[in-house]
Amino acid sequence: MKKRKLTALALTVCMVGGMVAGCGSTDAKGTTDTAADTKDTAATETAAEDKDTTDKASGDAATLTFGVFETDNITAEIWQNMIDGFEKENPDIKVEKVLATGDDRQAFWKTMLSSGSFPDIVVEAQKLATMDGIFAEVPQDIQDLFDPATLCQYDGKCITVPSFRQYKMQCYYNKEIFKELNLEEPTTWDEFQNVCKTIKDAGKTPLMCGGTGDIWATGEPFWIAEGDTSLLSKYPDFNKDLSEGNQKWNNETTVDVLTKWQDMVNAGYYYEGAMSLSYSQAAEEFKKGTAAMMIDGSWQAAGLDGEKNEDFGVFAVPTIDGSKTTVADCSYWGVSETCKNKDAAFKFIKYVYGDNTDVYKAYLQSDGLYSTTKEPVTYEQGPVTTKFIDNIKDWDTVQEIIVLPGEYAAPSGMQSFMDKSFQNIFNGGDVQSEVESWDTEYQRLKDAE
Amino acid sequence: MKKKKMSFGFAAPAFVIYTVLLVIPILMAFYFSLNKWNGFNEMTFIGLNNYLNVFKDSRLGNAVGNTAVISIVVVLVVNVLGLGLAMLVNKASAKSNIFRTVFFIPFVLSTVAISFVWKSILSYNGVLNSMLTALGQSGLVGNWLGKQGPAIVCIILVEIWRTLGYHMMLYLAALQTVPQELYEACTVDGGNRWDKFRNVTLPLIIPGMSVSILMSIINELRMYDVVKIMTDGGPGYDTETVVYNIVSQGFSNNMVGYSSAISVVLFLVIGAISIFIVTKMSGKEVEA
Amino acid sequence: MKSMHKEKRRANIVQNVILILLGIVVVLPIYIAVVNTFKQSDLILNDPLSIPIPPILDNIISVLKNPNANLMQMYGNSIILMVAGTAITIVVASMAAYYLARVSTRFSKSLRIYFLIGIMVPYVIVYLPLCILLRNMNIPFGVPILIFVFVSGNISFASFMYTNYIHSLPIELEEAASIDGASQFQIFWQILFPLIRPCTVTIAIFVGLGIWNDFQTPLLMGQVKTITVGIYTAVGPFSANWGVVFAYVFFAAVPVIVAYLCAQKNFINGLTAGALKG
């Protein structure tokens, strides 16, 4: 009997709650209000709870989530050594690896962000740093670890730390094919085209790239080698002008570079099945000799050195305008603003970049990267990496437009849009209208931020 | 049973879970769709602007086109072929039992697993092309997933392969409700096979048919997994579907408001189609 | 009479040929996946159709050794989600259906329609608002909340099936029990629930298989490593090795195929009856 009364009571409560919500579904105006209400109360509750958890967490063992990505070079082992070393020195902190998946890592991080499972430390912070309030401000003692020239600011705040500098996009080639066809490393754009033509005429495939498996691997290599360099040598302040509305993507230089690229594709210089390959499949095919050349970053040099592979050479891709410009990008780590234990997170960063150079060195060496710390960290370079650096000894270096950090950074989402657009161009899309769509999308993404 | 005090308590747990985790999010989507919001900063109310943009977005237009093509072809094929197959295996024998079992297998497997299998077969350096080369037919080698046309055809084929057995079973279940006597009566009246099909089978399986058609339409309009894994919407955005587009606008571009607007439109379209088919078909049933 | 017989036989042969050809088309990709799991990569491309003798276990072993693919965890998550999600769906939906089927007030009728709306919802509309809702409520993403997300998505269908089924059952038993002094709760669990068992089997298969195979929900709601998401992650963009891809598929598909072959009648009934009545 008693039991029944209790249930009855519970039911009335439910019923009333139900009625309220039930009414909502018939009355459109009512529902938006209730939805908004629930959100408001939820938000205040969150704030209160947040405080609670931070208080609690500071005492006990902390867990950090560490968002990384892996490649054929930067393997699980590299991260694991970093984590193990840190945990050994800080037994009260546990580090958990979160591995980015899918072909578009920026999209992956954003999915994590939207779903509230954003890692405490992210290794590609520059891809998200333009959005307000994602990353925590970096303490001065951590900033002091790094070469000041590589630090950057967003809205006057330093929220990311530079993890490495990376030279991008030179052309690797199959020495045997070059020898067979009596080819030399080209030094001008015309020579480069001639090399492609000779290889094509000999019935071989000149160039390899990736496709839908990794969207960046189709157009980025060529664009970084030619597009960024041409635009930046002509308009040194391209990012600033673009961001302030005084410049457009849609200009002669962009269209010219992309038209030339499409002409190369149409001439059959690229591997026919490239579009269905992932990056590592493409690299694999290149190493098998399916194509004679592949434009790729310094990580490929490190990979070849790692395998002690001497079948491949590398030359700087001759720029269209003949300028000696090449791209070097910095990558950044950031600590999430939602991290419950920022001290521990920065301790981890300090461990990697300050306390233990071996860990940092292994990270750099695996992918052919260069240090960004105040005290440079160097490692012994293999022959291909050495050649790679020699190729651009007295060249100007610029930072890729789309990943330039700081105030004039492109809105996040722009890079993957361009990557897809490159694929459209590769498959015969109209260059002019594709480039126009870049401006539209740039504006749209900027407005959305 | 006269108004017995049956308590709402029985329905309460379901009601709460359903309302909090499904209905409220849907209402939130409606609300978001009227705002410009990236999911983090301040929301700005912009009325129906997101909806107006839906109709101006060429990338979305392309996704709608792809979805429409995939849906129309798949719906037609699986329903026609499904009915045909169902009639072939509609007899109680060990043989037709085996066929039923076999045809149904693809439907119980996860789309992730089968998409990877098909990807490995259809990739440029995959099983199909290497088989063609081995057979001396290298002229037939194709870039199946790397160009828009062939890629969409591949996706359609995979969807047909995946769902055909399911629709066959739906039709089979419908066929088994047709009383044998009616066929006999038709034979007595001198009807041939076609007459039997037209005058007996078809009218009586209309309820099953409407379910099958509806299920296939809803399935294809929601298409995501196969595209995500086989082509990831590429090359470019040539094989993006509507749902793929919603996910990338919302999750990758942080256009919460805009992506909500697209999903609201999709919701209304699916709702309208469902209601249309249900009412239309139930009307036919009465006639029959 | 004889010629008719002959004609029928010829038709039969044609039918069988069609069925066998289609059967081969249906089975071939599965066959390719299975046999090539046990072959080395170069052999896969040179001779994809041969049966590997002796079978090579390298691909399977490399999957088991992959530090990024914790198969035990993946299976564990998938099993917990499937079992708990299905069980909770069955409990809450059958109870709700009891109310919906046995009470005919205006409220219960509107409630029935309210529950029905969920069947038409393209689930993609829910992900983002739900993520934001959970984030604002500070509910961590993971297996526990995902269980309830799956339940919420299946209530419409399950309660609809149960309501129709309970409607078709005679009410006398319940009335008799009620006169004997049994509480409604007892009546439901001791008398009605056993009676609706066939419907429960149908729903369990429909819902359970749906959860096991779902990819989008665990992927978008916090990347919970279920067997589907785990495999997607592990294969990733880096595997140029089809043998390993097939090995992952093997792990994803084998439990389902075994379950299907053991209880194929139930599977087919569950999945088709689910649609026909739903």
| pLDDT value for A57 | 40
Q: Is C112 part of a structural domain of the chain?
A: yes
Q: Model confidence at C233, in pLDDT bands (50, 70, 90)?
A: confident
Give the pLDDT score at C149: 95
A362 and A277 belong to one structural domain: no
Indicate whether A400 belongs to any domain. Answer: yes
Q: Which pLDDT band holds residue B5 (cuts at 50, 70, 90)?
A: low
Q: State phi, psi for A163 to the nearest 5 degrees.
A: -100, -35
Question: pLDDT at residue C126 above 80?
Answer: yes
Structural domain contains residue A173? yes
Q: For the segment A327-354, what is each residue's pLDDT rounded down to a tens digit?
A: 888 889 999 988 888 889 999 999 988 8
Domain match, A85 and A214 both: no
Q: Are residues A319 and A334 in the same domain?
A: no
pLDDT digits (tens, 9 = 90+) for C211-230: 999 998 988 887 788 988 88
CA distance B202 to chain A (A): 39
User: Which residue from C120, C153, C257 is facing B274, i.e. has the nearest CB?
Assistant: C120
Q: Are residues C77 and C8 located together in one domain of the fold?
A: no
Block residue for tokens 């020699």: A390
Residues 133-162 of B with CB under 8 A from C: 134, 161
**C78 and C133 share a domain?**
yes
**Does B253 contact chain C (CB < 8 Å)?**
no
Residue A27 lies in a domain: no
How far is it, in rounded angstroms, from Cα C14 to Cα C19?
A: 9
**Mean per-residue pLDDT for C117-125?**
87
Residue A46 with chain C: CB contacts under 8 Å = 136-138
Give the pLDDT confidence score for residue C277 in this predicted structure. Answer: 57
Average pLDDT over residues C59-74: 82
pLDDT at A55 over 60: no
Task: State which fold the B45-287 domain adopts.
Answer: MetI-like fold (1.10.3720)
pLDDT given at position B278: 81
Q: Give yes or no: residues A108 and A255 share one domain.
A: no
pLDDT tens figures, C189-213: 988 999 999 889 888 988 999 999 9
| Closest-CA residue to A209 (of A313, A304, A281) | A281
Query: Measuring CA to CA, which residue among B80, B49, B271, B267 is closest to residue B167?
Result: B80
Same domain, C50 and C84: no
Same domain, A216 and A235: yes
- Identify the band that residue B282 occupies on the pLDDT scale cut at 50, 70 and 90: low
Structural domains in chain A (count): 2
pLDDT at A178 over 60: yes
pLDDT tens for C3-62 read: 667 777 887 888 888 889 989 989 999 998 888 889 887 777 777 788 887 888 888 888
Domain that holds residue A134: 61-167+330-379
What digits encode the pLDDT tens for the residues A391-441?
Answer: 988 888 888 898 888 778 888 788 888 999 999 999 988 999 999 999 999
Residue A116: which of C110, C135, C236 has the nearest Cβ?
Answer: C135
Range of the domain at C52: 2-56
Whether residues C201 and C271 fall in one domain: yes
DSSP string for A244-276: TTS--S-SHHHHHHHHHHHHHHHTT-B-TTGGG
Structure tokens at B175: 């066929």
Residues C95, B29: C-beta atoms closer than 8 Å: no
User: Counting one residue from B and one from C, how many pairs have CB atoms under 8 Å apart?
Assistant: 260
Q: Are A368 and A328 in contact (CB under 8 A)?
A: no
Domain count, chain C: 2
In a domain, A259, yes or no: yes
Minimal Cα–Cα distance from A420 to chain C, Å?
16
Same domain? For C15 and C107 the reply is no
CA distance C19 to chain A (A): 33
C197 & C218 share domain: yes
Q: Is the pLDDT of residue A13 over 60?
A: no
Residue A164 half-sphere exposure, CB side, CA atoms within 13 Å? 21
Peptide bond into B203 cis (omega under 30): no
Chain A with chain C: Cβ pairs closer than 8 A: 74
pLDDT of residue A104: 67
Residues for chain B: how many in total?
A: 288
- Lowest-pLDDT range, A56-60, A207-211, B205-209, C235-239? A56-60
What CATH number is associated with residue A187? Answer: 3.40.190.10
C239 to chain A, any CB pair closer than 8 A? The answer is yes
Q: Which residues in chain C have Cβ-Cβ distances shorter than 8 Å to B221? A: 122
- At C13 the pLDDT is 85
Residues A229 and A309 both lie in one domain: yes
Residues A173 and A163 in one domain: no
Whether A32 maps to a domain, the answer reads no
C253 with C135, same domain: the answer is yes
The minimal CB distance from A15 to the residues B8, B23, B251 is found for B8
Indicate whether A390 and A352 sit together in one domain.
Answer: no
Read off the CATH number of the domain in which C251 is found.
1.10.3720.10
Surface of B (181-200) touching C: CB under 8 A: none
The predicted pLDDT at position C236 comes to 64
- Domain assignment present for residue A93? The answer is yes
Q: Flag whether C61 is in a domain.
A: no
B88 touches chain C (CB under 8 A): yes
Query: What residues of A are in contact with residue B17 (Cβ under 8 Å)?
Result: none
User: What tens digit of pLDDT does each residue of A108-137 get?
Assistant: 788 788 777 789 999 888 878 877 788 999
Residue B147 has pLDDT above 80, yes or no: yes
B70-122 pLDDT, tens digit each: 999 999 999 999 999 998 888 777 788 888 888 989 999 989 899 989 988 88
Whether residue B219 has pLDDT greater than 70:
yes
Helix (H) or strand (E) holding A68: strand A62-68
